[in-house]
Amino acid sequence: MMRVTAVLRSRAPLVAAKSKLCHSSSSSSSAGAAGLTVSEAVEEVSRRLARAGVPEPGLSARHLVAQAAAGSGPGSGSGSGSRDLDRDALQRLETMTLCRLARMPVQYILREWDFRQLSGLR
């Protein structure tokens, strides 16, 4: 039991650092060129996650793109697949994708998740 506690304590700084990176407002990496549509973004993120062996890459990609697009102005969201994502949305998406590639659960990245009939749990 003490060994498990020691392992968990040793990982605490890593978890805190990963959380800080994934929830920062900007990312130091390039988010790609503006003009990517929602549908293209879902396909690209899904491919990247699948290549890395992340479980449920398609579902993860849809959630991440929907969250990134949510702050992109009118008509945003995964329902408008032909709409272009702006540069800010692409940057948010890249940051969230990197977190998912690091195996952070989607719920932690989105900071909310539906549970049964309840939605918007934080």
What is the tens place of the pLDDT at every residue in 13-68?
A: 555 555 556 666 544 444 445 578 999 999 999 999 999 999 999 999 999 999 99
Name the more confident of 121 and 63: 63
Domain holding 96, by residue range, is 33-114
> Is residue 39 situated within a structural domain?
yes
Residue 5's pLDDT is what? Answer: 45
Residue 13's pLDDT is what? Answer: 54
Q: What's the rounded mean pLDDT across residues 66-83?
A: 65
> Is residue 122 situated within a structural domain?
no
| Residue 72 pLDDT class (50, 70, 90 cuts) | low
Q: What's the rounded mean pLDDT across residues 75-104?
A: 84
> Is residue 20 situated within a structural domain?
no
> Can you give the pTM of this predicted structure?
0.66
> Is residue 119 situated within a structural domain?
no
Q: What's the rounded mean pLDDT across residues 99-121?
A: 83
CA distance 37 to 106: 21
Read off the CATH number of the domain in which 83 is found: 1.10.8
CA distance 19 to 74: 29
- pLDDT > 70: percent of the chain: 56
Position 105 pLDDT exceeds 90? yes
> Is residue 74 situated within a structural domain?
yes
> Is residue 60 situated within a structural domain?
yes
CA distance 117 to 109: 21
> Is residue 9 situated within a structural domain?
no
> Is residue 2 situated within a structural domain?
no
Domain count, the chain: 1
User: Is residue 84 within 8 Å of 34, Cβ to Cβ?
Assistant: yes
Residue 112's pLDDT is what? Answer: 80
